[in-house]
Chain A
Amino acid sequence: MSGVNDFAFKMGTVNGTGSASANGLLMQAIFRMGIPVTGKNLFPSNIQGLPTWYEIRVSKDGYRARPSALDLVVALNPATYAKDVASVRPGGYLLYDSSWPLDPDLVREGITILGVPFGRMCVESFDGDRDRTLLRNIAYAGALAALLKIDTAIVETMLSEKFGKKPKLLDANHKAFALGFDYAAAHYDCPLPFHLEPMDKTGDCILIDGNAAAALGAVYAGATVGAWYPITPATALMEQFSAFCAKYRVDKATGLHKYAILQAEDELAAAGIVIGAGWAGARAFTNTSGPGISLMQEFIGLAYYTDIPAVFIDVQRCGPATGMPTRTQQADLLSLAYASHGDTKHLILFPADPRECFEMTVQAFDLAERFQTPVFVASDLDIGMNDWMVKRFDWDDSYRPDRGKVLDADALKKIERFSRYLDVDGDGIAARTLPGVGGKGAYFVRGSGHDKHGLYTEDAEAYQELVDRLRRKFEGAADHVPKPLISHQAGAEVALVTIGGCEAAVLEAADLLRAEGIHTDYMRIRGFPFNADVRTFLGRHEHTFVIEQNRDAQLRSLLQIELGVTRDTMIPILDYAGLPLTAGKVVSAVKAHLAEVPA
């Protein structure tokens, strides 16, 4: 890396100072130049005053993982100078605010240090502390535009789009941008060796985060009830659902809503509301994160045992306990797979990017109703809260929801007796009725022991029959959850198996390994229970690496428990410090193992 349209840079700032909008502006401008780009917001669990970083990776080849090295670092937060300078690759550049004398922390052999007096220029040009602070960010965006050759016409258009109705703000932003741009252009040899040239590789793509995408999926799936309790990093999902509903689901004549969004008193109530609504026949969902899943466990078990559809979108963060709310992980896999006490197993979908968040959220509602059971969508902070470049979303207007086996009044007339949990078709799925249906459709939901008719029982055989049916139902779902994505390279002796957002780094790693003569087969698991293809793929290679973001190799455990694959045949590559995975980490782990155990 490091060249035209192939480099990465990072801004180290202080949260609450307005840097997010400048960083977003830079990323979007690059995207509009037609160049594939990725942005990772590495932010603290705090509103104001703590260090925050934003990494932008430009990749003409379309790699979307977090960069393994940084060509340029913008150091604007004295508290992190030393750390930021250390993160510049040898031969790279550092841009700092030269309003103050060069801090000894910033001096490092082998890198080029560029100073622009952002603070002083903003103090001289603008009034008021707040404006000066905010506009300093636009000023560094301007300097970067000169250094990296960002199309200024695009930036001007974007500023006009944003501040078009506020001429004063628009002028100030233009001025701040020009301050940074002009200073850099006048004092440095612009552009730098690594810079941007317009391309045409983003035409059919959008930049969107997974939370917005999942929210849109819920709208398109026809979800009408959303219940939730605010939690990072899932909060924006329901806020986006609310915004989309306001756009698409308000009756124009009356202003009344064709949806209900309830901010519950806690996660327990949110789960209860979803289950009550699902039982009543609505497509209902909640969005939460690990601590919320913990609180919802009892209700998840109830829904499982009483065959009630419910969708849970888990935007995973670092645990256990409160953990690190603004850091990413994939550490809820086991707690989702077997959530609640007793013998339980749940369907899980694993999106890898926002586009899959959109599609899999729709699928989750279909699966929940078809199998009458809780379904989890296991997103994470990296997917949920970062903007990803993905192919624009499609919709097929012939789609109709899979409501599963629901008997209406007419259907009930044709049968002698309705038995809620009778497995007529042998697939473990019994027909249900919805409250309000007339005739003999009424039944009683009970979390206590019940037989196939829905009646209370503590009879040994009846209990076992019921839980065996639930297992049969679960196993049948393996053919309906999304299949794994599998690719082969000729002569591959190494297999890379991964899940969710790790894909971006693992696919890039596969290319890097191939360049070094290590050919790999690839599988990304997308659903639980595991599809037959998953079993077929495993165990066919000398070395199978399972790459995931948790400490305890939870995916590997699931593969072992559910498929009986021996642990020894799966070499874990684990990344659990809370930041998005890099290809470099995967490459070095694979190579280190192969060096230790020659093939």
Chain B
Amino acid sequence: MTSIAKPPVKHPTARTNGLGLTLRDYEGAMSTLCAGCGHDSVTAALVQAAWELELEPHRAAKMSGIGCSSKTTAYFMKQSHGFNSVHGRMPSVTTGAAAANKGLTYIGISGDGDSLSIGLGQLSHAIRRNVNMLYVIENNGVYGLTKGQFSASADVGSTSKKGEANEQAPIDPVLLALTLGGTFVARSFSGDKRQLVPILKAAIAHKGLALVDVISPCVSFNDHDGSTKSYAYTREHEIEAVQADFIPLKREITLPETGEEVRTVELHDGGRVRLRSTAADYDPTNRESAYAHVRACQARNEIATGLLFVDENGRDMHDHLKTVPTPLVDIPFEQLCPGKAALDALMPRYR
């Protein structure tokens, strides 16, 4: 992972958040991705979201696999621990880290190659376990680092830069997550920061796995007329299910009444997501109708975006594991080792 350190210069008038940190404090190394890469916009949205959420950088862990997308973790929150693991296996490493230390905020960044091909099994099981993490898929339909092969999310008929058409049906991570019982499922577009930032904030605050599929065009290999993951195509075909705002617990802001239908979803940590439906009948708490909406958009060659489904009552991995509130890494050894007396008492069982 190439990384070039940014000079630590702060503008004297830069705004600070409640922790006294500026946006620059949430940045990472200089990106080495291609100029205009959608992934860099996702990075910017993550910086913004973390700054607004007032995340303590050292209490967050950035997790990724391998590929262009997985470089993202190097480009934000330089004061967080990061883990750039192996291809497609970020979910298991995050699962282990989260099992060991439930006290941290886990931000996983992956791509369509990393998550929908080699890592499909691990993604599925992370959803099934409901690991408490943000899981971003930077989805561009193409393998960038190996120069332009189709990924598993490439749509039928979408062409490569050389003009070859894809014939295999795509895997849609949003439908996958809805099917597997995902408790927070959203899709956004790297070119739409207004939509993406509040979704990321709500996703980080969500208890359980929050899957955010971000259409993030590859300017080098998949931003041409025949692509369905280009900037132009995504802008023209995006259908937003709901317009979401995230309101953290500590600074509650009441939106002015607009007369439109507004729903509020209480998140586990006390924060709220306010959802303003763009379609009058859209219900983001109904898994079946969310699934139907995504399928209907697909049938019309449209891209369903927004917070598509949320369930704040789901049990996360630690609920299933029935672990104590204290992170396992913080339990003193004396409480873990049964000691000599217990061993002596156990031995007769083997007589």
B1 touches A456 (CB 8 A): yes
What are the residues of chain A within 8 A of B340 when measuring CB–CB?
Answer: 394-397
> Is the Cβ of B58 less than 8 Å from the Cβ of A437?
yes
Pairwise interchain contact A275-B122, C-beta atoms closer than 8 A? no
Give every chain A residue within 8 A of B125 (Cβ-Cβ): 264-265, 269
Do residues B351 and A456 form an inter-chain contact, with CB atoms below 8 A?
A: no
Q: Name the CB-closest residue of B to A273.
A: B96
Within 8 A of B (CB), among A235-284: 248-249, 251, 254-262, 264-266, 268-282, 284
In the complex, A421 Cα to B126 Cα: how many Å? 31
Q: Looking across the interface, which residue of chain B has its beta carbon closest to that of A254?
A: B324
A217-236 Cβ-contact flags toward B at 8 Å (1 or 0): 00111101101000000000
Size bracket of the B interface: 35 or more
A208-B350, A441-B58 are known contacts. Are A282 and B343 too (CB-CB below 8 A)? no
B89-A281 in contact (CB<8A): no
The answer to whether A187 has its CB under 8 Å from any CB of chain B is no
* Measured CA separation A446–B66 after assembly (Å): 10
Do B89 and A222 have beta carbons less than 8 Å apart?
Answer: no
Q: How far, in Å, is B108 (CB) from chain A's closest CB? A: 11
Residues A280 and B101 in contact, CB atoms below 8 Å apart = yes
0 or 1 for each of B271-286: is its CB under 8 Å from A? (1 = yes): 0000000000000000
Please determine whether A445 and B95 come into contact, CB atoms closer than 8 angstroms: no
Cα distance, A443 to B125, chains bound together (Å):
28
Interface residue? A69 (CB, 8 A): no
Residue of B whose beta carbon sits closest to that of A435: B81
B113 contacts A by Cβ under 8 Å: no
Residues in B322-346 with C-beta less than 8 Å from chain A: 322-325, 328-329, 331, 333, 335-340, 342-343, 346
**A256 to B331 Cα, complex, angstroms:** 13
Q: Are B324 and A225 in contact (CB under 8 A)?
A: no
B97 & A277 in contact (Cβ 8 Å cutoff): yes
Chain A residues near B338: list those with CB within 8 A: 219-220, 248
Q: Is A302 positioned at the interface, with any CB of B under 8 Å from its CB?
A: yes
Q: Is A517 an interface residue (CB 8 A)?
A: no
Those of B269-323 within 8 Å (CB) of chain A: 318, 321-323
Smallest beta-carbon distance A446→chain B, Å: 4
Q: Which residues of A contact B74 (CB under 8 A)?
A: 444, 456
Q: Is A434's beta carbon under 8 Å from chain B? A: yes
* CB pair A220 B343 closer than 8 Å: yes
Task: Please tell me which one of the listed residues B84, B92, B333, B337 contacts residue A269 in the complex, with CB atoms under 8 A apart.
Answer: B92
Residues from chain B with Cβ under 8 Å of A255 in the complex: 322
B87: nearest residue on chain A (CB-CB)?
A298
The smallest C-beta distance from A372 to any residue of chain B, in angstroms, reads 15
| Given A273-B95, A276-B93, A436 contacting B81 (CB threshold 8 A) | yes
B163 contacts A by Cβ under 8 Å: no
Report the separation of the CA atoms of residues A109 and B318 in the bound assembly, to the nearest whole angstrom: 66
Q: Is the Cβ of B83 less than 8 Å from the Cβ of A397?
A: no
Query: What DSSP secondary structure best describes chain B's contact surface?
Result: helix
A275-B96 in contact given A397-B340, A436-B81 (Cβ < 8 Å): yes
B94 interfacial by beta-carbon distance below 8 Å:
yes
B80 contacts the other chain (Cβ, under 8 Å)?
Answer: yes
Q: Chain B residues near A400 (CB, 8 Å)?
A: 333
Q: Is the CB of B336 within 8 A of A222?
A: yes
| CA A438 to CA B104, docked complex, whole Å | 12
Is A265 in contact with B328, judged by CB distance below 8 angstroms? no
Q: A272 and B93: CB pair below 8 A? A: yes
B128 CB to closest chain A CB, in angstroms?
9
Given A272-B122, A282-B328, A444-B74, A249-B89 contact (CB < 8 Å): no
The docked-state distance in angstroms from the alpha carbon of A310 to that of B136 is 27
**Interface: B146 (CB within 8 A):** no
Contact with A along B1-22 (1 / 0, CB 8 A): 1110000000000000000000
What are the residues of chain A within 8 A of B83 when measuring CB–CB? 276, 279, 444-445
A565 within 8 Å of B by Cβ? no
A276/B58 in contact, CB under 8 A? no
- Interchain nearest-CB distance for B86 vs A (Å): 5
**Are B122 and A265 in touch, CB under 8 angstroms?**
yes
B129 cross-chain contacts in A, Cβ below 8 A: 262
CB < 8 Å neighbour of A436 from B94, B103, B343: B103
Partner of A442, one of B57, B95, B347: B57
Q: Does A107 sit at the interface, judged by CB under 8 A? A: no
Chain A contacts of B322 at CB under 8 A?
Answer: 255-257
Known: A206-B347, A282-B329. Contact between A273 and B324, CB under 8 A? Answer: no
Q: A265-B121, A298-B86 are in contact. List 6 more A-B contacts (CB 8 A).
A: A224-B329, A225-B100, A257-B323, A260-B99, A261-B321, A442-B57
Closest 9 CB pairs between A and B? A276-B96, A272-B92, A282-B100, A206-B350, A273-B96, A276-B93, A277-B96, A435-B81, A280-B100
